Every structure is written in structure tokens, then in C-alpha cells.
Amino acid sequence: MDVLLRRFLRAGVRRGLAGNWYWFLLAGATFFLRRVLNDRAAVVSTVTVSPGEQVLITVRDRRAAPVPAAAPTPASVEA
């Protein structure tokens, strides 16, 4: 479904820029439909955190090479 809407959007913009203003209406309606149908608010992950636990959330590029993880070091506690 998304592929078809993307084709309508591209065709509407392309033909609208060529001078047919009513194709911009098709492009606008298609853009609106794609935004409504794509659910971007879906839950990606759920984690239960207990008191005292820490969670590290990072965002990286999928295409980038993974970074080697460093060995965790214990935190020093001064009394």
C-alpha cells in the first residue's frame, strides 16, 4: 500500500510542477494518507527497571560499524 501511495505522491508532485495544479491536490491528499497510515507512535521496546538499576539508551546509524564494547569498570565509592 505504501509503495502505491509513494508513486502517487511522486507523480502528483512531478506533474504539479509541470503546470497541472490539480495534481498538487492528489499529492497533498496522498501525503496526508501516508502520514495517517504510518504508525510512528508504536512501542519499540519495553523494559522494567527496578530501583537502583540503570538503563543506557543509545541511538546510532544502522549502517555504521559496531563500536567495540569496553569492559565495565566498577564504580568507586568513597565513604
Widest CA span in the chain: 76
Confidence band for 2, pLDDT divided at 50, 70 and 90: confident
What is the average per-residue pLDDT within 21-34? Answer: 90
pLDDT digit string, tens, across residues 47-57: 888 999 888 88
What is the average per-residue pLDDT within 14-41? Answer: 87
Q: How many CB atoms lie within 10 A of CB 32?
A: 10
| Spatial distance between the Cα atoms of 31 and 10, rounded to a whole number of angstroms | 10
